[in-house]
Amino acid sequence: MSPDRRGPLVVAHRGASAAKAEHTLAAYELALAEGADGLECDVRLTRDGHLVCVHDRRVDRVSSGTGVVSEMTLRTLGELDYGTDGEPAELLTLSQLIELTLDWTSRRTKLFIETKHPVRYGGLVESKVLAELARYGLGAPASADHSRAVVMSFAASAVWRIRRSAPLLPTVLLGDASRYLGGGAAATTVGATAVGPSIKTLREHPEIVDKAAAAGRATYCWTVDEPADVSLCKELGVGWVATNHPGRTKRLLGG
Ligand code: G3P
Ligand code: CA
C-alpha cells in the first residue's frame, strides 16, 4: 500500500455507484470497465453465516424488501431485488465479488473490504473474511504491496484482529482526525497499514497525509466525488481515493 507518486489510485466506492445500484454486479463491472484500480465493498453476516455486500444494517434502502441483514438467511436475502431505475439486480456475496476481481486479469485490481457490525459480531466477521480470502489464495500475501485484498474498519479492534491473524494483509483504520493526530493515535497502536479519513476530515486536517507518510503509512480518503477534492488529494499525496464516480475521477487524474 505504498503511496503512488503519480497521484492517487482510484477505488470504486460500492462499485460505480453514482451510475448503477450500489454493491451490484453491474456497479462493479462498470467500475472495472472504467479503469478503477480498486473496488470497495461493505460486508455483513447473514443469519446463516454468509458474507454479503450490503452497507446498511437493514436492506430497506437498497432492496425490494425489509429487514435486518443479520436476521435474514442468504436464501431470503437472495430473493430480493437490489436494482434501481427499472434495472433489476441480484444480491452480491463477498465470494462473488472476489471472483469478479480475480477474473479481471488485465490489471491487478485491489479489493477493499470494509467489515460492518464489528460490535455484535466482532471477531466473527473478520475470521469469516480471512477464511474467504484464504479460500481464494489471498489470505497471506508476500507483502502488503502485493496483496489483492485490503481489509478496512472504523473499529480499531477489528483492524487489530486482522493484523494479529494475517500480519502482511494490508489494513485501513477508518475514522476522524483524533485517530491519526496527537499522542495516542489509534492507527499507530493497532498497526494499520493505512489511515482512512473522510474528505471532510482531510480538508480540515491536511497534515494527516504527511504525518501518516512519516510513519510509513499510506492515506486512503473517502468519498472523493468533487473535482476540487480530487485535486486536493493529488496535491497532498493521498495514495487511494474512494469515489462513486471512478471513470470521471480517473479522467480527472489523467488515467
Ligand atoms: O470507504 C470507506 C467508506 O465507505 C466509509 O463509509 O459509510 O460509506 O461505509 P461508509
Ligand atoms: Ca464502506
Phi-psi region of 27 (alpha: psi -120 to 50; beta: other; left: phi over 0): alpha
Are residues 40 and 98 in contact, defined by beta-carbon separation less than 8 angstroms? no
Whether 87 is in a domain gets the answer no
Is residue 13 annotated as a catalytic residue, yes or no? yes
Is the CB–ligand 1 distance for residue 174 below 6 Å? yes
Q: What is the ipTM of this complex?
A: 0.99
What's this model's pTM, rounded to 2 decimal places? 0.96
Nearest ligand to the CA of 41 is 2
Give the angle 25-90-246 at the CA atoms, nearest 5°: 25
Measured distance CA(146)–CA(141) in Å, rounded: 6
CATH number of the domain where residue 241 is located: 3.20.20.190
Q: Are strands 110-115 and 9-13 parallel, antiparallel or unpaired?
A: unpaired
Q: Which of 25, 216, 47, 64 lies closest to 121 in space, CA to CA?
A: 47
Whether 33 is in a domain gets the answer yes
Instruction: Provide the residue-wise pLDDT of the chain in tens; the chain has 255 residues.
Output: 654 556 899 999 999 999 999 999 999 999 999 999 999 999 999 999 999 999 999 999 999 999 999 999 999 999 999 999 889 999 999 999 999 998 876 678 999 999 997 667 778 899 999 999 999 999 999 998 889 999 999 999 999 999 999 999 999 999 999 999 987 677 788 899 999 999 999 999 999 999 999 999 999 999 999 999 999 999 999 999 999 999 999 999 996
Whether 164 is in a domain gets the answer yes
62 C-alpha to center of ligand 2: Å? 14
Q: Could you identify the atom of ligand 1 that is nearest to the CA of residue 154?
A: 5
State the greatest distance between any 2 C-alpha atoms of the chain, in Å, as a whole number.
51
Are residues 50 and 92 in contact, defined by beta-carbon separation less than 8 angstroms? no
Q: Residue 206: give the domain boundaries.
A: 9-57+94-252
Q: Pick from 174, 201, 220, 221 the residue to mutate for probing ligand 1's pocket: most ligand atoms within 8 Å of its CB.
A: 174
Whether 2 is in a domain gets the answer no
Q: Which of 109, 113, 143, 118 lies closest to 129 in space, CA to CA?
A: 113
End-to-end C-alpha distance for the chain, whole angstroms: 19
Number of domains in the chain: 1
16 C-alpha to center of ligand 1: Å? 14
Is the CB–ligand 1 distance for residue 40 below 6 Å? yes
Whether 202 is in a domain gets the answer yes
